[in-house]
Structure 1
């Protein structure tokens, strides 16, 4: 077995609890033993670049308030005209927190 093909914890190659390696960390004198290395990656600059590209793609005309208003109107329209059984299911889903309660079940005026 190569160092890249080490067994996963709890796998079939894991030593039994009564074997010396099972009590703690693996010993460093075995053929598959390799030291661990902490790896920290800072993605802050990449995230800022991603957000800048996203906002650039939206363009200067993007109006977040209008977008939210349109989304709420679409949500109200989606849940408008429900029959009694559908309304009961809708009310149960709102009570369970699955759907937002601002749909109202009526189309926007």
Structure 2
């Protein structure tokens, strides 16, 4: 207990690391044995390629502005956005 201006304060701490470990284990279990994180990442990259493909001139200017501002990553050469 610490004292501050004559008022008593009780320090309350709770260690949630065991709870977090259980939560993460439950998430992985819920994903199931067929979950393939690399396939998910590849599919996400393909989705981004499609999202930024076929941009008209104005959309391309907006995209370039967002890249320059650091909001979006630049899609590499040979990508659908190029």
Give the TM-score taking structure 2 as reference length: 0.83
In structure 1, distance between residues paired with 2:18 and 2:27: 14
Say which of 3, 9, 25 aligns to 1:36: 9
- Count of residue pairs the alignment pairs up: 77
In structure 2, distance between residues paired with 1:102 and 1:55: 30
Structure 2: stretches of 5+ with no match in the other structure:
none
Match status 1:84 vs 2:52: no
Report the structure number with the largest CA radius of gyration.
Answer: 1
How do 1:38-53 and structure 2 match up within 5 A? 38-53=11-26
Give the TM-score taking structure 1 as reference length: 0.64
In structure 2, distance between residues paired with 1:95 and 1:37: 50
Which structure has the highest strand share of the two?
A: 2
- Indicate how the Cα distance of structure 1 residues 94 and 79 shifts in structure 2: closer, same or farther if over 3 A, else same: same
Deviates more, 1:97-106 or 1:35-44: 97-106
In structure 2, distance between residues paired with 1:49 and 1:42: 13
Structure 1: stretches of 5+ with no match in the other structure:
1-24, 29-33
Match status 1:64 vs 2:37: yes
